[in-house]
Chains A and B, each alone.
Chain A
Amino acid sequence: MTGHEVEQEETVPITSNDDVVRARQTVRTYAQQCGLSLVDQTKLVTAASELARNTLVYGGGGRMRCAAVRRAGRVGVHAVFEDRGPGIPDLDLALTDGWTSGGGLGLGLSGARRLVDDFDLHSEPATGTRVSVTKWKR
């Protein structure tokens, strides 16, 4: 898909507020192990927090897969958030700053995209949403 090697992987279910905290702690552990700078760690964990909350609140729960990855000599952290919720009807709109379907600030998706290096969003009505993000070590 994105053409990178997966070195280590972990899955965290996201079904409660607790799990959102657990998801970001998992991502932080991976980010530290991979040697991301403090600022990049913070950006990635913040993005993970936004996306995990989206999975819970808008997707009705799901899971996160977090992995240490390698591509073309670079190492990074890859996280995929999946749910089987209602999906996002209009992806372009959802990625616009300030757009929200549920009382948030509308910065979740668009903000998370700015915080990571690679961002990939797949969503189909009635089957669910998958967001994958990667942050590479600088």
Chain B
Amino acid sequence: MSDRVPILRIGQVLLVSIQIDLEDQTVLDLQDDLAERIVATGAGGVVIDITALEIVDSFVGRMLANTAAISRMLDAETVVVGMRPAVAITLVELGLSLGGVRTALTLDKGLALLERDRTARTARP
């Protein structure tokens, strides 16, 4: 019934760009879809772009933290990019620190972060 957020694949990375005010069910669907796509594609990284999000409440925050934890279990690293200052300030006030979620200022920097990780991991014996 509800819309689903599209998941794009660029090489080894899955890219999700959240463009609309999300309904709770859509948030849960996204979490499920991502887990499935990670396994199906063998992706090594996930980038969630929240530049367009005007708020992140505890529900969305929890989805971000869960997705990061789930993807790590499936051997993929998650980076959340583009969080607005007002959103970050609000999350801190709300008491949500998104422990375990890696973040980057922009999509570019997020992708670079995953790339650095990958080379570091492959360099290791």
Contacts and interface: CB of A to CB of B under 8 A. Distances in A.
Contacts of A24: 21, 55
B90 A17 contact: no
Tier of interface size on chain A = 20 to 34
Contacts of A21: 21-23
A42 B54 contact: yes
A105 B90 CA distance: 16
Contacts of A17: 2, 23-25
Interface residues of B, number: 24
Query: Is the contact region of chain B dominated by helix, strand, or loop, or is it mixed?
Result: helix
B95 A42 contact: no
A45 interface: yes
Interface string A21-54: 1001100100000000011011101100110010
A83 to B, nearest CB: 17
Given A17-B25, A39-B86, A45 B94 contact: no
A97 B59 CA distance: 15
Interface of A: 17-18, 20-21, 24-25, 28, 38-39, 41-43, 45-46, 49-50, 53, 97, 104-105, 107-108, 110-112, 114-115
